[in-house]
């Protein structure tokens, strides 16, 4: 537990390539994902978020760029909560 100085994280997983692409290539979907992930973290008093997206093969440029934006924006928004 946190009183014992153990960090508690939520892991958000996705192993479906179609869902990953849909999420990361849509600005609205990325925004909603971040809002919901941060709400979950805050409402449960968790220490952080672990994103476990596993894409088989080589994603296209739009998916790579979208994933990078998702991670950048999630980090930026989470740091603003500190």
Q: Which two tokens stand for residue 40?
A: 């979950």
Q: Read off the pLDDT band of 82 (50, 70, 90).
A: low
According to DSSP, the residues that pair with 11 across neighbouring strands are 50
Residue 79 and residue 56 in contact, taking contact as beta carbons nearer than 8 Å: no
Which residue, among 43, 46, 55, has the nearest Cα to 70 in the 3D structure? 55
SS3 72: helix
Which residue, among 78, 22, 69, 81, has the nearest Cα to 50 in the 3D structure? 78
Instruction: Inform me whether the pLDDT recorded for 3 exceeds 90.
Output: no
pLDDT tens digits for range 8-45: 999 999 999 999 999 999 999 999 999 999 999 999 99
């Amino acid at each position: 537990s946190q009183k014992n100085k153990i960090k508690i994280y939520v892991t958000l997983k996705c192993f479906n390539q179609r869902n990953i692409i849909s999420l990361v290539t849509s600005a609205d979907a990325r925004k909603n994902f971040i809002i919901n992930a941060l709400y979950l973290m805050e409402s449960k008093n968790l220490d952080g978020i672990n994103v476990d997206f596993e894409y088989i093969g080589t994603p296209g440029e739009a998916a790579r760029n979208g994933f990078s934006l998702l991670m950048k924006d999630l980090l930026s928004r989470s740091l603003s909560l500190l």
